[in-house]
Chains A and B, each alone.
Chain A
Amino acid sequence: AQSVTQPDIHITVSEGASLELRCNYSYGATPYLFWYVQSPGQGLQLLLKYFSGDTLVQGIKGFEAEFKRSQSSFNLRKPSVHWSDAAEYFCAVVPGNTPLVFGKGTRLSVIA
């Protein structure tokens, strides 16, 4: 079945440490790829997106993501996490002529 998988339900990192959130998809063709962030009680904010071209995408708040076709992955990274990055992160894809399909999310906690 076509799906988006975020294997890590909850991740805790220390402030200043690096971060990588994993996302894998299972679609035949390369979909459009997105990362959104949701703070508690809030809506979703777009961090970055990949449609085509350079496979390393820069986003807001110092985030980047790399599309790897061979691994069907679109992992989100940040070199140094800030306490304000604590939130829920969702990977999403548009597989084709269909709406956004979301992963179940990864909750990020940041400790001092």
Chain B
Amino acid sequence: NAGVMQNPRHLVRRRGQEARLRCSPMKGHSHVYWYRQLPEEGLKFMVYLQKENIIDESGMPKERFSAEFPKEGPSILRIQQVVRGDSAAYFCASSLGHQETQYFGPGTRLLVL
């Protein structure tokens, strides 16, 4: 039973480019969460999605960031016009249901040059 998958594991972008991060939840999980980890910091919640719906995006920056979880395919975290401050590790987690245990993927480490 495969765990949460994230790709790419490492992503390098120049300022102004777009970054697309993908997350495939564990089999049977329909709840997906995105977190960002800055150097020397804990994880900060960004957005919580359930198939085709955004449930809570209170942690998402108001501009340039968006997330989706389509009926088919992985969840996508999209960062437009990246800036150096977007450099971080982005983790996806999935759960069977709301407030159920979250299982984390290996993360995508984004470096903006």
Q: Which residues of chain A have a CB within 8 Å of any CB of chain B? A: 4, 32, 34, 36, 41-46, 49, 90, 92, 94, 97-105
Question: Would you call the interface of chain B mostly helix, strand, loop, or mixed?
Answer: strand
Q: Which residues of chain B have a CB within 8 Å of any CB of chain A? A: 4, 6, 33, 35, 40-45, 48, 56, 59, 91, 93, 99, 101-107, 109
The answer on a CB contact under 8 Å between A90 and B42 is yes
B43 contact from A32, A49, A90, Cβ within 8 A: A90
CB contacts (< 8 Å) of A44 on chain B: these are: 43, 91, 93, 104
The answer on a CB contact under 8 Å between A43 and B43 is no
In the assembled complex, the Cα of A46 lies from the Cα of B4 at a distance in Å of 13
Closest approach, in angstroms, between the C-beta of A100 and any C-beta of chain B?
6
CB contacts (< 8 Å) of A94 on chain B: these are: 99
CB contacts (< 8 Å) of A45 on chain B: these are: 104
CB contacts (< 8 Å) of B35 on chain A: these are: 100, 102
CB contacts (< 8 Å) of B101 on chain A: these are: 34, 46, 49
The answer on a CB contact under 8 Å between B105 and A102 is no
Closest approach, in angstroms, between the C-beta of B34 and any C-beta of chain A?
10
Question: Please, which residue of chain B has its CB at the minimum distance from the CB of A34?
Answer: B101
CB contacts (< 8 Å) of A105 on chain B: these are: 41-42
The answer on a CB contact under 8 Å between B56 and A99 is yes
CB contacts (< 8 Å) of A98 on chain B: these are: 56
In the assembled complex, the Cα of A105 lies from the Cα of B89 at a distance in Å of 15
Closest approach, in angstroms, between the C-beta of A43 and any C-beta of chain B?
4
CB contacts (< 8 Å) of B41 on chain A: these are: 104-105
Closest approach, in angstroms, between the C-beta of A49 and any C-beta of chain B?
6
Question: Please, which residue of chain A has its CB at the minimum distance from the CB of B33?
Answer: A99
The answer on a CB contact under 8 Å between A104 and B104 is no
The answer on a CB contact under 8 Å between B106 and A43 is yes
Known: A4-B42, A42-B107, A46-B103. 9 other contacts (CB 8 A): A32-B99, A43-B91, A90-B42, A90-B43, A99-B33, A99-B56, A100-B43, A100-B102, A102-B35
29 contacts between A and B (CB under 8 A): A32-B99, A41-B109, A42-B106, A43-B6, A43-B106, A43-B107, A44-B43, A44-B91, A44-B104, A45-B104, A46-B103, A90-B42, A90-B43, A92-B43, A97-B99, A99-B33, A99-B45, A99-B48, A99-B56, A99-B59, A100-B43, A100-B93, A100-B102, A101-B45, A103-B42, A104-B40, A104-B41, A105-B41, A105-B42
